[in-house]
Structure 1
Amino acid sequence: MLTGLVRRGGRYSIRRVIPLDLQGHYGRREITKALGTADPARARTLLVVEWARQDREFAETRAAIEADKFPAKTPSVDVQQISPTVIGPAKIDRQAGRSSTKAAGRPSPQRPSAAVKAPKQRDSLSSVVDRWAAENKPEDRTVRRTRNIVERFEVACGPLPVQEIARQQVVQFKDALVSEGQTAANINVMIPMLGTVLNYAANKLDLIATNPAANIRVADNRRKREIRRAFTEAELETIFSSPVYADRLRPAAGGGEAAYWLPLLGLYTGARLTELGQLHPSDIVEEGYSLSDGKQKRAWVIRIVEDEARGQSVKNEGSERRIPIHADLVTLGFLPFVKSAQAAKQARLFPAITPNAQGELMGNWSKWFGRYRRKIGLRGTETVFHSFRHTFKHYARLAAIPNDVHNELTGHETGDVADNYGGLSYPLAPLVDAIERYRIPGFKLPAPFVALHKSKNR
């Protein structure tokens, strides 16, 4: 592990000793700052960026001490609640600086008697987020997501007051996300979310003239053959008439029963592979809900949640959600399978799946599915397990399911303000209605699930 990179509770932080000559001014020996990720590769990238930013901060602090330019502390600010990497030199005890000057026998600098101009207003991005959240009252997950993006912006560009953020800094942030390996789709969600805060600062608070993040996007320049697509009807027939389904094969490398259920769950939920592989038996529950006429109904749902204690994570804040279980999955025996796992008190719904050497839960399984897909004759590079997600979106549109509903079912964030009102609190009735309408024309269900203990490493 790189020097300064620490891992706590599955997530990474930077921990760095403050230079000896500055420790008295910061009032501590070390700086610890969360990097906001559990991914080791991304953490290493963020570490380098944040380390360089801290180097600049230390240099600026030394220069400011020499020039004795620190403003007096404002009593109303509780500096103990502010990260030292955010406030930087503002925490320096100016009085201590004066004492050291006198001790050296040098006279204190004379202050001008003329009236001093009031300093320019300087509002931190985090304070704008606080005001935005208080006024608009988005869900907690949306606030957490927005704060995370603001933190990442400050790692890339420094803790600038909102009045000093220009289009140049937003472009710099975009370039930093690109260098981290973020996809165009992810960046085109994060930049608009940052833009929501900046837009609020411009239009509601009059802190800035315009939103500097407006219309900043990343083009998706992948070649067509590199872009994943949905499975065709013929490809679906090939998969679901293959040995796993026709001969009840349960490959050990395919996680035993996971080889049967994960492709079906992908097809009928549109969920991401990791979301399905990390499911706990207790994530499948029966919930009550109300119809528009007040009638009460019940439905079985899959809950996609983040739970660090159980090793569950989601791609973004909008990924937490409920997905009603399709009638075809019930027909195939999914609920008895779940109840058996619950009775056995399994830690995961698919306990035979083993992480790879990098700790990625679905790394090995994904490679197995790629080998299996090629073995049964699907050799194109444009179809992978994620193609089930594209397939679900395709048939959801074919069933005339509204965009906001199938985006909610798949946990897809668009950057629209409506994304703030989804998640686990999204009304269940329209989700149930959508799943009842979801059909795959011409698709023939495989044989119902039968629990087997037949394993072959294929």
Structure 2
Amino acid sequence: MPPYLTLKNNTYYFRQSIPAELRPLIGKREIKKSLGQSYPAAVRECKRYALLADNLIAEARTRLDAMPVDPLSSQGIRRTHLVTLNEVTPELETQLGNLVRASLLDTDRRKRIAGMTTEEFEEYGEHIDQAITALRKQLAMGLVEPMLESTRIFLIGRGYVPEFSESDWRKIAYVATQANLEAYEGIRKRHEGAIVGEDKAEILPSQFIAQNASKAVATTDDTISWQMLYDIWDKECERRENTRASYLAAMNLFSAFCSKNPTEVTREDALAFRDFLRDEKKLAPGTIANKLGFVGTLFATGRDSPTLVKRLPENPFADIKVKRAQRGTAGEKRQPFTDAELKMIFNSPIYTEHKRPAGGAGEACAWIPAIAYLTGMRLEEIATLTKKQFQVDAKGNHYIHILDGKNENSADRDVPIHPELIRAGLLEYVRSCHDRLFPKVKSKDEVQSASFSKWWARHLDRLGISAKSKVFHSFRHLFKDLCRNARIEDAVIDQICGHEPGTVGGKYGAGRRVDVLAEELQRVIPPVSLPKIMVK
């Protein structure tokens, strides 16, 4: 079963524990939801609740990190990102010198405030004289080695990782030696009764203090922009590039539709945007829900900021309903192509007469369906393929390395190339490409294959395949059936298709090797052979 899915008394439940440090912020120890008694439905709902729970925990983590802590406490040290220093700049020399002098003079001041006996005063005076004599000799001779380790400790103690060349190490150690001598000369004047103040010049900042004193987002005026909300969201945690692109595209689309800044957006504006996506953009219900969710998440991120929450209204995108379209309803779920429909597709003029219709993006109209037929890859994965993704293992098996996955938690995978695709000429076509296999497949949307998907729907209609259950994704359903008919185990099919393993144990390890997958895939016998695909 998927993670967080449990079964009790014939009912499935989603259960995810909340980290102990976040429980006071969320107000509970565990997130628990009843998912009913249908396993397939429970799996779908479990994944949805897992995403919601991850967002809830991430938001709580952001609020926790925004709370100031003792910079030198274990928590402060743990959440500080150490800054790497690669060279000794004049600014670093000045700041380190000021830090060394200020530290020694402050230690001396505290010692005198605490008081000394006559004996301690005399011993301390001898120590000062000996230190000055030694430091003057070291400075005169350039003997900086005794100061190297203490300088390194100074830098590390301020939250830095020094990675200097040998010459830079000598330079910074010389600065520290000089600062030590200047400090001790000031300490001796104090020992003689003179007043020596402590320089308030800028010292090397502590990263522990700089990063932990406050995590709140500062604003200079009353204007809150969408870009500001996006930047806050983007800095919460590591984001995949395709995730950033999706959120940014949704944000730009809404800001173009509605010129208001976030503080002025109303529920009516959000609902009007939903209708615009449905009626004007003609987007699918799932895509509409995603875009509304993306913009709503940016809004919610702003409301989690202590400095912005009072200036933002309640999230106008929360709980907006998106009605499902007729296509793809329960009675007409996506179905695999039949053998007769495959013959219609691969005996069309695209393959028999080398036609390349307008909207089919050149060679894409021939190769994208063929690749989907015998790899089970998603349309977007195929549409964005590049030449370097086609690789060969040590045993000579050709495969496609799929970059990233459809979801935030999915990983890269390797898909072996079926012999029928090689016979059809796929490798020859790949060798003829420069970078992208299908550069003419592009869209203004963040989904590059959006325009091709619309063309494919029109193409099926022209072929007489008009059932609403038959879409491009039907190839993926067909591929899974072909693998099952070849008696390939589900775990192998899931690995090739990029589906999450159904058990906890299935998530261990890197999966089967390419040669094992290739051997399994050779058992798949296509019901309709691919023609030799000639490049026009």
Normalising by structure 2, report the TM-score. Answer: 0.41
Normalising by structure 1, report the TM-score. Answer: 0.48
Q: Determine which structure has greater relative contact order: mean sequence separation of CA pairs < 8 Å that are 6+ residues apart, divided by chain length.
A: 1
Give the structure with the larger helix fraction.
Answer: 2
